[in-house]
Chain A
């Protein structure tokens, strides 16, 4: 299913367009695109939930691809054949001035149960003290935020103090899983094992990168929703 599929009804096409853009090129999502969903009957809470679903599936797909899980179910539908050679979108250049503390603030769902669940999840993913360190979590999250075009989020997490990507397996892993999750291979995890990370640590490394990809898209999507013109 693509965002430009003209066989889709208008409401579905508006939602698919948001999903495609926020997933592949989050930095290109416009308030007008989000407003399109509103014109087809979704209220503010449903739009907020839509952006959260897209963000969550940017988490789940990365966990699935990084850990190599297999399809669980039998289905009469045609099997999906992923295009593993798909090129990733070119990333935008970072802004000329570094992200400052005078930011607009992270955008979060207003639906209380959803907000509470998201913040609880994020706190655990970023702040747990084991099996990887908080410093390693920050490093992974900064790279994932950068790859999502979330420069403000990356700046709020800190600065990369490590040398070039090629010198740090965590940075290499985070960049690949963020940019080309469909290209993940068993060798990517093997490299981290060889660097001394346990199986528990691998789960957390994957989880931090996938979560930050979700969190950056949540912030970017809700920001666009907040700026969309009134219906």
Chain B
């Protein structure tokens, strides 16, 4: 189910533009769409958000990346 709550301020970049990872893909809108469709499809798998965040942050930490 789509949740239409407004985006919490903490998720809005202070620079007012799209997040950097989105802008990095913006030279090719089709690549952008297909890449982030995978993230969207994960929403229906039943994996709790807390687990998802833990996996993402551990992966980033292992790769010494802030993202």
Contact = CB atoms under 8 A, between A and B. Distances in A.
Interface of A: 1-3, 11-12, 15-16, 18-20, 23-24, 42-43, 45-46, 48-50, 52-54, 56-65, 67, 69-74, 80, 82-84, 86, 111, 113-114, 116-118, 120-121, 124-125, 181-182, 199-200, 203-204, 207
B27 A200 contact: yes
**For the side of the interface on B, what is the size category?**
35 or more
Name A's interface SS: helix
Interface of B: 10-11, 13-15, 19-21, 23-25, 27-28, 30-31, 34-35, 37-42, 44-47, 51-52, 54-67
A182 B57 contact: no
Contact of A70 (B10, B20, B51): B20
A82 B67 CA distance: 11
A121 B52 CA distance: 20
A203 B25 contact: yes
A130 B63 CA distance: 30
Contacts, number: 168
Contacts of B63: 23, 57-58, 61-62, 65, 181-182
Task: Report the 8 A-B pairs with minimum CB-CB distance, sorted nearest first.
Answer: A69-B20, A49-B45, A182-B64, A57-B59, A82-B64, A61-B65, A49-B47, A64-B67
Contact of B34 (A49, A86, A121): A121
Name B's interface SS: helix
A46 B45 CA distance: 6
A84 B45 contact: no
A16 B25 CA distance: 28
B58 A204 contact: no
Contacts of A124: 30-31, 34
